[in-house]
Amino acid sequence: MPKILIVEDDKFLRELLAKKLQDEGLEIVQAIDGEEGVKKAEEELPDLLLLDLILPGINGFDVLKKLKENPKTSALPVIVLSNLGQKEDVERALTLGAKDYLIKANFTLEEIFDKIKKYL
């Protein structure tokens, strides 16, 4: 069963995503901030990471950077799920190694799941 790490500080959204993905047969690990996200990525070695950019502590860009610098997590596919929709933010995340960039307001849970399936 594929394991997904959700790094999201919004409890409602995180739990909504977790429920949907569990219903689809995926194992879910959750982190509420950037530090915990990096730690759990190293410990759990998930198959994919869903990453918010605006997080308490270290932000999603720094999380991406740390994951890509670590040989244990450098190949981990990361899908950014953020409210930041500026072209610079999208380009920065993709340059740092994100596989995809989804703007929260533009995607349904079903579409997010379809993207996840694409990268698993």
Q: Model confidence at 30, in pLDDT bands (50, 70, 90)?
A: very high
Position 20 scores a pLDDT of 96
Q: In which band, very low, low, confident or very high, does the pLDDT at 52 lie, cut at 50, 70 and 90?
A: very high
Burial label for 1, CB within 10 Å (0-12, 13-18, 19+), is exposed
Scan for tokens 């950014």, then name that residue: 80
* pLDDT tier at 42, thresholds 50, 70, 90: very high
Helix (H/G/I), strand (E/B), else coil: 66: helix
3.40.50.300, 2.40.10.10, 3.30.565.10, 3.40.50.2300: which CATH number matches 3-119?
A: 3.40.50.2300
pLDDT, position 38: 98
pLDDT in the model for residue 23: 97
Would you kindly state where each structural domain of the chain is located, as residue ranges?
3-119
**Band of pLDDT at residue 119, cut at 50, 70 and 90:** very high
Q: Are strands 27-31 and 48-51 parallel, antiparallel or unpaired?
A: unpaired
Q: Is the whole-model pTM more than 0.85?
A: yes
pLDDT for position 112? 95
Question: Please, which pLDDT band fits residue 12 given cuts at 50, 70 and 90?
Answer: very high
Radius of gyration of the chain (CA): 13
Q: Could you report the per-residue pLDDT of 84-99, keeping only the tens digit for each?
A: 999 999 999 999 999 9
Rounded Cα gap, residues 88 and 34, in angstroms: 20
What is the C-alpha separation between 64 and 48, in angstroms, rounded? 12
